[in-house]
Amino acid sequence: MEGASKVAVIGGGAAGFFAALSAAEHHPSAQVVLFEKTAKLLSKVKISGGGRCNVTHHCFSPSALSRHYPRGGKQLKKGFGTFQASDTVAWFESRGVALKTEDDGRMFPTTDSSQTIIDCLLREADRKGVDIRLQAAVQKLEPQSGGGFHLDGEPFDQVIVATGGSPKRSGLAWLEALGHTVSDPVPSLFTFNMPGEDVTALMGVVVPDALVRIQGTKLSQRGPVLITHWGMSGPAVLKLSAWGARDLAERGYAFSVQINWVGIPNASEAAATMDAAVDEMRKKKVANACPFELPKKFWAYLLERAEIPTDAVWLDLGKKAKNKLLNTLLNDVYEVRGKTTFKEEFVTCGGVTLGEVDFATMQSRELPGLYFAGEVLDVDGVTGGFNFQAAWTTGFVAGRLG
């Protein structure tokens, strides 16, 4: 865009930082100023992935990538046409940061340290001459009648807003004052609290392939489930929390989950699998011979739940007991009463309404010269590197300034 002489980026997280770098790259003669209200840059990058930084996901098809976003997937598909996961990999690798892919598709720096990513971004900002201002909370953003903006009285030609998700609607009121509509923010990635359930005694156990469904809804997800000291977590639960964010908030985080612990959706197929396995180990004790891929400790728990004695032998198990066990394996129900934020990785559903932003440029349809990037938008992805990819993509596109 002509006249991109002075650009403000509000927010020093992943999206804001990448937007500032993109603006400096695409407009080398522009003065790019990054405002961060705290004393720290890229704080979420630092803690993500257990301090390793899950940079992106090994999903290099824009249409497939877009399906990992409960909100904003359709709109992001446009942005992925410009900058997708493979571009993220190329961007970091061309700057000396190699990434590796884990079995589940998540991508991390080969150093297994988020500091590697932070250092790379800081070096790039320094090289491109981005003016970084810490502890610089913007108090007032005023559009000017002849175009451009004043940020606390300082003039800018374009402004990129990348302030991240807000836990409360009040945190987004200043954007409403500029003429934007805001969707109420609610938590997106969270684990399920089950205070009344004894399964929590098995904390640390991972069931590798479960089907988890929220009763009374069409919401279901498949994947590993981790038992925690407060309830359940793991990919299946986290994906459910993202896809069901609004629905579960409306329920006050009080609902029932129905779990198929063996990942076989068809009951007759599960029964046949069990019968075939039992034929092989009919003389063995039930406690020592599990027909499915389940942790031994968890299998013992399910037997107790199905009221089957641990010293029972498969051969002696009647049809009624087998049916009860099968029903426990396929239709186990737990009461959820509350949630816990996942590993401090605060993600919200909600923010600036998507129809008010042109995703080909990330420019506001309400206020020319104003751009958005990252979680300030009503965009969020499931766990696995997708939220960072949305940050890199929207930041990169916004920084082109049209």
The answer on pLDDT for 364 being more than 60 is: yes
What would the two tokens of residue 240 be? 């459910």
Q: How confident is the model at residue 4 (pLDDT cuts 50, 70, 90)?
A: low
pTM: 0.91
Instruction: Give pLDDT, residue 280.
Output: 87
High-pLDDT (> 90) share of the chain, % = 93
Sequence-separated (6 or more) residues with CB below 8 Å from residue 341: 187, 189, 190
Closest Cα to residue 84, out of 393, 400, 401? 393
Instruction: Please report, for residues 235, 236, 330, the alpha-carbon distance to residue 205 in angstroms, rounded to integers and kept in the order given.
Output: 14, 14, 18
Instruction: Give pLDDT, residue 278.
Output: 85
Q: How confident is the model at residue 1 (pLDDT cuts 50, 70, 90)?
A: very low
- Report yes or no: 247 and 217 within 8 Å, Cβ to Cβ: yes
Average pLDDT of the residues in 350-374: 97
Closest Cα to residue 17, out of 126, 151, 139, 125? 125
Instruction: Give pLDDT, residue 373.
Output: 98
Instruction: Give pLDDT, residue 279.
Output: 87
Instruction: Give pLDDT, residue 170.
Output: 93
Instruction: Give pLDDT, residue 343.
Output: 60
The answer on pLDDT for 269 being more than 50 is: yes
Mean pLDDT, the chain, rounded, equals 95
Instruction: Please report, for residues 3, 43, 95, 124, 128, the alpha-carbon distance to residue 29 in angstroms, rounded to integers and kept in the order given.
Output: 10, 29, 22, 16, 10
Average pLDDT of the residues in 181-191: 93
Q: What is the pLDDT of residues 192-246, one digit of tens each?
A: 999 999 999 999 999 999 999 999 999 999 999 999 999 999 999 999 999 999 9
By CB atoms closer than 10 A (0-12, 13-18, 19+), residue 129 is exposed
Instruction: Please report, for residues 213, 274, 299, 310, the alpha-carbon distance to residue 263 in angstroms, rounded to integers and kept in the order given.
Output: 12, 13, 15, 24
Instruction: Give pLDDT, residue 100.
Output: 98
Distance CA 162, CA 399 (A): 11
Q: List the domains of the chain with CATH numbers.
A: 6-187+343-399 (3.50.50.60), 190-341 (no CATH)
